[in-house]
Amino acid sequence: MAPMLEAWANVIVSGLIIGGIYAVVAVGLNLQYGLMRILNVAHGEFLMVGAYLTFWGTTLIGTSPHLLMPAVFVVLAVTGFALHAVLFRPLARVAPNPEVFEARGLIVSFGLMFIVQNAALLAWDADLRGGQGSLEAVRLGTLVVNGDKLLACAIALAVGGAMILWLRLTLVGKAVRALMQSPVGATLVGIDVRVLHPLVFGVGLGLAGLAGALISTFYTISPSIGQPYTVTALIVITLGGFGSVSGSLIGGVLLGVIEAVGVELTSPSLKMLLSYLVFVAVLIARPNGLFAR
Amino acid sequence: MTAPSQGLVAERVTVRFGGLTAVSNVSLWIRPGELVGLIGPNGAGKTTFFNILSGTIAPTSGTLRIDGREFAGRRPDHFARAGIARTFQTPRVFGPMTVAENVRFGRAFAGRRADHNPQVPGEVDDLLAFVGLRDDAEVEAAAITPARQRLLEIAMALSTRPRLLLLDEVAAGLTEAEVQRMAELIRRCRDELGLAVVWIEHAVGVIMRAVERVIVLHHGELIADGPPGEVVRDAAVVEAYLGAPMEVAP
Amino acid sequence: MMRAYAPVAVAGVAAALLPGLGSPYVLSLTLTCLMYVALATSWSMFSGATGYISFGTAAFFGLGAYVCAWTLDWLPWPVVILGGAALAAAFAAGTGGMILHLRGTYFAVLTFGLAELVRHAMTYGEKQYAGTVGRMLTEVPSDLVVYYTVLALAVAAVAIAVAVRRSRFGLALAGIGADEQRAETLGVPTRRIKIAGFTLAAAVAGGIGAAMAVRWTYIEPLAVFNPFIGLQTVLIAMIGGAGSIAGPVVAAILFSLIAEYLRLQFPYAYMIALGLLLILSMLYLPNGLAGLWRRAGRVNR
Ligand SMILES: Nc1ncnc2c1ncn2[C@@H]1O[C@H](COP(=O)(O)OP(=O)(O)OP(=O)(O)O)[C@@H](O)[C@H]1O
Ligand SMILES: [Mg+2]
């Protein structure tokens, strides 16, 4: 009985840890969609870029990946700010209505996905890199946990918590939340949407880069790792509800546990099938998220 | 009174949105050929009630019979084919299509039925002439003025050749003269086409002069139902809506 | 109106005569063109008209391909094609009832998820019941038979699109695209119409999948359910102008030609160019090529 329990505890804990990372993978995308109705399917590609920046940074400069993370965040946030100004603002200007903007924005981000992924392939070829990790395994009671993953999860949850605080306590954050509720709300708060949109798009990309940096500390990376994470982010958002940051945190952890338990009960080859099953089922039955009223 | 079999009968209809009861326990009977006004303060549940009568939303509870057949919970296209047509508070015309194409649309679907109202013309031209939009026939619907879009909405509703017409604030934002013409048009819908009409409007004076029966909703409840002359003196209506009793020209 | 179809008709005749004139290479290139003509045209017929953007074409294509893999040995070729179309259509009709109440991005994302779900389910199912993931095709019909089959399907797809556009069914689809709820209150049984349109588009993709399957000698889920098939279909239709018929046809031909030349030599550069093209067309040519020549026509008049 006891070994059995312990095995399950191991499964759940590893699910929780990877779920914490999933949460931060999804938060940025969800902010962007919730605020601007831009479903940036290139999200995973920017995650991949963040992973590479971290890898090259640590390899070339020789610092710890964790020290590089703020820089990775900033680089991608600035990129996001610029991309919004160059692509999405003009798109919003010419679109006759929000529905059309949403459709075109989706197509534009597919374009971005192609560009970033293949530019990465050109620049860095398809080889697998990194992934050796640097920390010792950690003992939690009788459980043994991968130290790098545990630290990554801790950082991810701290970042998620910081995002929630940012949205709740700062004026800009409150404006974002007001705008997610209703588009007219923002003008009431007195915040200029022309600044807010690029800013949040940048934060979204920065978070993607950060997630990539975290992942690069314990998994090998290649230019094609991005796309599956876009899918992961979509599943998490579906679980937690479009536009809800705390929903994404819960959704990420939930997906991590569902995957871990599901795979334990069936077989590892079923992981993707299982993820998509959850995704499709939730979208069909509860399109506003599991926790919607 | 035995259960009427002609017209539209709503019984104890209730709609809830989460904790909010938008329409509460409303029962009424719209008889064929009646011209009815529906008034009430903002948020009283008027549009929501129209949404139920046209199948756009299903009531949380209650029954809805059209000519004796139960319709609650059916899709809007069933209501349209059963002879119920509506307009929307903010005009919803097919912007990229021409005015004529907009009218042809309804004619091609609900208006095709054999048991439609034979008094409503079947020709698109005649319908456009009836509402006064013939000159705009080939113009893109998005390009005509909002006032004309309201007329187009009515023409689209008529194109389904209905027996009951539900009009949601079709006179809002019109000039004095346009309102008079609108009231006239609505009367002609009843007199010449034999339609029953329910007309929502905030301009109480206009409604009271135009219709022969007034229904008042307040907080989702039906607080009055009767001839204009009686309703304007009803204590509950005065308190909830009018503020002071008003006189209605006979 | 008729003038717009003239280039399409000319292209069709040219394609029919091609096997007598062109080299096998040209033939195989044309085959790719025809495949995307059929996919993009049938996609536009439903998704372009209604605005229900589906990334699920790969699912229908793959199901058709698997019907071919399962039945090629014991069924006549035309039945195999019809079988592919039928399975894809049945799948679309079954799932359509469940997913077509969602609009916009939700629907788009859901169709993508559904296609991936089918791919993984097929991988798993084949491993369970056949023991291997892929299947070998041994006795395949001649290149010429395949060519004319795909040509026939492409012609059928365009003919269906034209016929639908002129029908009450097409009017209903356009109404759903303009304002679904309004269309419903005017008597359009939107649910049934959407399912029918989705199913019809799926049938064409399923038929194409069955016919194209024999081009691979080894059928496996990753190849025939490749999400890129669905993606490329959407892109071609959007760049051509999803509201038109000639637009996607022209875009499909252009695309296949560019793809053929660039993809083999510079695969990464090709994808980057594709991405740029997409972005530029959304920014500067939002109604596609069709919008461009419509605008040109207006200037000329
Ligand atoms: N789909 C909905 N979801 C939630 N609440 C709704 C919905 N539709 C209407 N309501 C609420 O129901 C109440 C009644 O609204 P309704 O639009 O029927 O009022 P109304 O009488 O037409 O008002 P007005 O004169 O302003 O048009 C309002 O409080 C409104 O906010
Ligand atoms: Mg209203």
- Kindly determine whether residue B160 and residue C191, on different chains, have CB atoms separated by under 8 Å: no
- C-alpha angle C82-C225-A216 in degrees, rounded to nearest 5: 175
Calpha distance C142→A285 (Å, rounded): 46
What confidence score (pLDDT) does residue B246 get?
67
What confidence score (pLDDT) does residue C301 get?
41
Alpha carbon of residue B76 to chain centroid: 15
CA closest to B91 among chain C residues: C182
Given the structure tokens 């991949």, which residue do they identify? Answer: A48
Calpha distance A68→C162 (Å, rounded): 58
Given the structure tokens 């006891």, which residue do they identify? Answer: A2
- Provide the CATH number for the domain around residue B31: 3.40.50.300
Please give, rounded to a whole number of angstroms, the shortest distance from the CA of C12 to a CA of chain A: 30
For helices C267-284 and A98-124, the axis angle rounded to 10 degrees is 160
pLDDT in tens, C131-172: 887 888 888 888 889 999 999 999 999 999 999 999 999 999
Q: What are the residues whose beta carbons fall under 8 Å from the beta carbon of A207, sequence distance 6 or more?
A: A24, A27, A28, A31, A73, A159, A163
Q: Is A280 on the interface with C (CB under 8 A)?
A: yes
- Helix, coil or strand: residue C215: coil
Q: Which residues of C touch B (CB under 8 A)?
A: 168, 171-172, 174-175, 178-179, 181-191
Residues with CB under 6 A from ligand 1: B 17, 20, 22, 40, 42-48, 89
pLDDT in tens, A23-46: 999 999 999 998 888 999 999 999
| Mean pLDDT, residues B118-147 | 92
For B66, the domain range is 8-242
With a cut of 70, say whether residue C4 has pLDDT above it: no
pLDDT in tens, A161-199: 898 888 888 888 888 887 877 665 555 566 677 888 999
- C-alpha angle C185-C187-C192 in degrees, rounded to nearest 5: 110
Calpha distance C37→C27 (Å, rounded): 15
Q: Which chains contact C through at least 3 pairs of Cβ atoms less than 8 Å apart?
A: A, B
**Which is higher by pLDDT, A226 or B246?**
A226
Sign of the Cα pseudo-torsion (A253, A255, A260, A264, in order): positive
Q: How confident is the model at residue B65 (pLDDT cuts 50, 70, 90)?
A: very high
From A203, A279, A261, select the one nearest A18 (Cα to Cα). Answer: A261
Calpha distance B129→B142 (Å, rounded): 19
Q: How far is CA A114 from CA A119, C184, C270, in A?
A: 8, 38, 9
Partners of B117 in beta bridges: none
Q: How confident is the model at residue A293 (pLDDT cuts 50, 70, 90)?
A: low
What confidence score (pLDDT) does residue B180 get?
93
What confidence score (pLDDT) does residue A90 get?
92
CA closest to C121 among chain A residues: A273
Which ranges of C130-245 would DSSP assign to H, the alpha helix? 143-166, 168-185, 190-213, 221-224, 227-240
Calpha distance A124→A166 (Å, rounded): 36
Q: How confident is the model at residue C50 (pLDDT cuts 50, 70, 90)?
A: very high
Please give, rounded to a whole number of angstroms, the shortest distance from the CA of C12 to a CA of chain B: 31
Report the domain count for chain B: 1
Q: Is B165 on the interface with C (CB under 8 A)?
A: no
Calpha distance A229→A43 (Å, rounded): 8
Calpha distance B179→B169 (Å, rounded): 11
Cβ B188 vs Cβ B177: under 8 Å:
no
- What ligand 1 atom has the least distance to the C-alpha of B23? 14
End-to-end CA distance of chain C: 15
Which residues of chain B neighbour C190 with C-beta distances below 8 Å?
Answer: 75, 77
Sign of the Cα pseudo-torsion (B43, B46, B47, B53, in order): positive
Give chain B's count of helices (H) and strands (E).
Answer: 9, 10
Q: Which amino acid is at C78?
A: P
**Which is higher by pLDDT, C2 or C279?**
C279
**Which is higher by pLDDT, A132 or A224?**
A224
Q: Return the ligand number nearest the Cα of B217.
A: 1
Which residues of chain B neighbour C185 with C-beta distances below 8 Å?
Answer: 54-56, 76-77, 79-80, 85-86
Q: Looking at the partner chain, which of A91, A110, A273 has a beta carbon nearest the beta carbon of C124?
A: A273
Least confident of A74-78, A280-284, C23-27: C23-27
Q: What tokens were used for C282?
A: 């959304």
Q: Is C252 on the interface with A (CB under 8 A)?
A: no
Q: How far is CA C36 from CA C33, C97, C234, C251, C287, in A?
A: 5, 27, 10, 9, 19
Which residues of chain C neighbour A37 with C-beta distances below 8 Å?
Answer: 105
pLDDT in tens, A207-221: 999 999 999 988 889
Q: Which chains contact A through at least 3 pairs of Cβ atoms less than 8 Å apart?
A: C
Which of C167, C185, C287 would best serve as a mutation to test chain B binding (most B beta carbons within 10 A)? C185
| Mean pLDDT, residues A143-163 | 86
**Residue A239 domain flag:** no
Alpha carbon of residue B175 to chain centroid: 20
From A84, A92, A292, A63, select the one nearest A199 (Cα to Cα). Answer: A84
What confidence score (pLDDT) does residue A243 get?
79
pLDDT in tens, B69-123: 999 889 999 999 999 999 999 989 998 899 999 999 999 998 887 677 888 888 8
For helices C168-185 and B99-108, the axis angle rounded to 10 degrees is 90
- Helix, coil or strand: residue C299: helix
Task: Tell me, in angstroms, the distance from the centre of ligand 2 to residue B173's CA.
Answer: 14
Alpha carbon of residue A123 to chain centroid: 24
pLDDT in tens, C213-257: 998 888 999 899 998 889 889 889 988 887 788 888 888 888 888
What confidence score (pLDDT) does residue A26 get?
93
**Other CB atoms closer than 10 Å to residue C144's CB: what's the count?**
10
Q: How far is CA C88 from CA A38, A208, C203, in A?
A: 31, 37, 6
- pTM of the entire predicted model: 0.89
What confidence score (pLDDT) does residue B1 get?
47
**DSSP code for B193:** H
Calpha distance A125→A52 (Å, rounded): 12
With a cut of 80, say whether residue C190 has pLDDT above it: yes
| Mean pLDDT, residues B212-227 | 93
With a cut of 60, say whether residue C47 has pLDDT above it: yes
What confidence score (pLDDT) does residue B26 get?
95
Q: Is B111 on the interface with C (CB under 8 A)?
A: yes
With a cut of 90, say whether residue C19 has pLDDT above it: no
CA closest to B54 among chain C residues: C185
Q: What tokens were used for A93?
A: 């200007």
Q: Which amino acid is at B80?
A: A
- Kindly determine whether residue B160 and residue C174, on different chains, have CB atoms separated by under 8 Å: no
| Mean pLDDT, residues C94-104 | 91
Q: How far is CA B127 from CA B131, B212, C186, in A?
A: 7, 25, 15
Q: Looking at the partner chain, which of C116, C235, C268 has a beta carbon nearest the beta carbon of A122?
A: C268
Give phi and psi for A133, each to the nearest 5.
Answer: 75, 165
Q: How confident is the model at residue C284 (pLDDT cuts 50, 70, 90)?
A: confident
- Helix, coil or strand: residue B135: helix
Q: Return the ligand number nearest the Cα of B40.
A: 1
From A134, A247, A265, A266, select the one nearest A282 (Cα to Cα). Answer: A247
Q: How confident is the model at residue C24 (pLDDT cuts 50, 70, 90)?
A: confident
Q: Is B154 on the interface with C (CB under 8 A)?
A: no
Calpha distance B199→B210 (Å, rounded): 10
Cβ C205 vs Cβ C46: under 8 Å:
no
Length of chain C: 301
- What ligand 1 atom has the least distance to the C-alpha of B46? 21
End-to-end CA distance of chain B: 29
**Residue B151 domain flag:** yes
What confidence score (pLDDT) does residue C243 get?
75
**Which is higher by pLDDT, B14 or A63?**
B14
- Kindly determine whether residue C189 and residue B108, on different chains, have CB atoms separated by under 8 Å: no
* Helix-strand-coil split of chain B, %, nearest 5: 35, 25, 40
What confidence score (pLDDT) does residue B178 get?
92
With a cut of 70, say whether residue C294 has pLDDT above it: no
Q: What percent of chain A has pLDDT over 90?
A: 37
| Mean pLDDT, residues A50-63 | 90
**Other CB atoms closer than 10 Å to residue A262's CB: what's the count?**
20
Q: What percent of chain A has pLDDT over 70?
A: 94
**Which is higher by pLDDT, C181 or B4?**
C181
**Other CB atoms closer than 10 Å to residue A167's CB: what's the count?**
18
Q: What tokens were used for B125?
A: 């031209």
| Mean pLDDT, residues B176-190 | 94
With a cut of 50, say whether residue B195 has pLDDT above it: yes
The edge-to-edge listing of strands for the beta sheet with B213-218 is B84-86, B164-168, B196-200, B35-39, B213-218, B221-226
Q: Chain-wide mean pLDDT for chain A?
A: 86
For A113, the domain range is 3-226
Which of C268, C277, C285, C287 would best serve as a mutation to test chain A binding (most A beta carbons within 10 A)? C268
Q: Which amino acid is at B156?
A: M
- What ligand 1 atom has the least distance to the C-alpha of B41? 25
Report the domain count for chain A: 1
| Mean pLDDT, residues A130-139 | 73
Pairing of strands B196-200, B35-39: parallel
Q: C217: buried, middle or exposed (CB in 10 Å: 19+, 13-18, 0-12)?
A: exposed
Q: What tokens were used for C48?
A: 């372009």
Cβ C201 vs Cβ C47: under 8 Å:
yes
- Kindly determine whether residue C276 and residue A111, on different chains, have CB atoms separated by under 8 Å: yes
Pocket test residue of B15, B23, B48, B50 for ligand 1, highest count of atoms within 8 A of CB: B48
Please state the three-class secondary structure of chain A as a single string. CHHHHHHHHHHHHHHHHHHHHHHHHHHHHHHHHHHHCCCCCCHHHHHHHHHHHHHHHHHHHCCCHHHHHHHHHHHHHHHHHHHHHHHHHHHHHHCCCHHHHHHHHHHHHHHHHHHHHHHHHHHHCCCCECCCCCCCCEEECCEEECHHHHHHHHHHHHHHHHHHHHHHHCHHHHHHHHHHHCCCHHHHHCCCHHHHHHHHHHHHHHHHHHHHHHHHCCCCECCCCHHHHHHHHHHHHHHHCCCCHHHHHHHHHHHHHHHHHHHHHCCHHHHHHHHHHHHHHHHHHCCCCCCCC
CATH of the structural domain C2-300, one choice from 3.90.930, 3.40.50, 3.90.700, 1.10.3470 = 1.10.3470
